[in-house]
Structure 1
């Protein structure tokens, strides 16, 4: 574990290699799971405030699901999450012409219609952030790729020699800031030199 401020980062974030290979996994993390994407409290407002912009990129099934269940739900195990269509794909997901699941929130962001890219839990995948049960100010950042689903991403990461923290640079800076990322990168290069 690497400690930076009150964040405890698993060594795998620095040592393992990972690059999403959407042509192989087809964005399966957007439909494979026990609930929708975990949401932080401030992201609930983002969904409320930006729903009309996001809606234009959603599928009819996704829109119907949101209109029936709400823009987000509370799950006893996972907290606030996005709704899913019949327990499968995220209501904000859609398949492109290659069958790859894309995010309506992200598409609205790329179209310049909102300043919020997507839930941070999605942006940080395959890293997962959990709060300490002992101290709510302490967060654990662990590397948790899906065993089968992410096999191609692990292989591509090794082939391209891209460590997890480099792949997640934008998301880590978004979550914890530039200084945190620089400290993480410095730790990684220190570890590499030994």
Structure 2
């Protein structure tokens, strides 16, 4: 064989091997894309099984908390517990304008009021100023102004007396 013929045969072998190599690369890429598609389909099926076929987590309640459970079931707390048991849980927070107090009194240890509320059996009666403040706090806000007015008026009278000015007749009628 001549050198030309050997070179031609060698070149043909090289072309055939190159074609085989290209074909195998192409087949590998096809296999990869096919496996990706299959894995995506499997993931979709798993998602359908886990998400759509099971009920949502909030639908099945294992233990439902009741509002009256925060107050212990002891004698004396029945009224507060029964009110919370029958109070509406949806819609208005303050049922029919009645105040719901989930707190314990420090004096009587009962639930539903605080120390100093009128509902407490140990509520101290007799201090009219304190009771008036609890009933109408705005009225007690006006009282110090009147007190300051009378105090200033007394100081002015004292100052006029010290200066030697004669007292006026209108002030004597008031005082």
Q: TM-score range by the shorter chain?
A: under 0.3
Structure with the greater relative contact order (CA < 8 A, sep ≥ 6): 1 or 2? 1
- The two structures have a TM-score, normalised by structure 2, of 0.21
Of Structure 1 and Structure 2, which has the larger fraction of its residues in helix?
Answer: 2
